[in-house]
Amino acid sequence: MALLALVTFSNVLVRYFTNESFAWTEEFSVFLMIVLALVAGSASVARNRQIRIEYFADSGPLSRQKALARFGALMMALLFALIAVLSVRTVYDDFQYGETSPGIGVPQWWYTMWLPILSCAISLRALGLFIRRGKQP
């Protein structure tokens, strides 16, 4: 977050004083926002703080609440595992065809490789949540 603020603020200062803009800042800022969102998503899964409808999740008998919590964790694990598997193809295509980023011309796979990595992390954390929910009385 600090790096994102620093990059954006430096671009604002340069644009204000020189009427020019760094070409790479938008590209890098978007990358940092995506990584930040995925890391925050991973942290929310680990802490069981993801969005849910509390009327359904926290009402009814404890066995139903536990079953819904485990079902939600399993579906989240499957979703992010699917995202990881499908995004590997994107990384492979970027690598194979030598795609470069539009702003600074670095290989595009430098950016896209983080999607499957962080999606795997979220999926593993969701599996951990599924296991922890199963051990609760």
pLDDT of residue 51: 81
Would you state the pLDDT for residue 102?
84
| Residues of the domain holding 77 | 2-135
- pLDDT tens digit string along 79-98? 999 999 999 999 999 999 99
- Token pair in block for residue 4: 């994102």
Number of domains the chain is built from:
1
> What's the whole-model pTM score?
0.83
What are the C-alpha distances in Å from 106 to residues 25, 55, 90, 100?
A: 13, 48, 16, 5
pLDDT of residue 109: 95
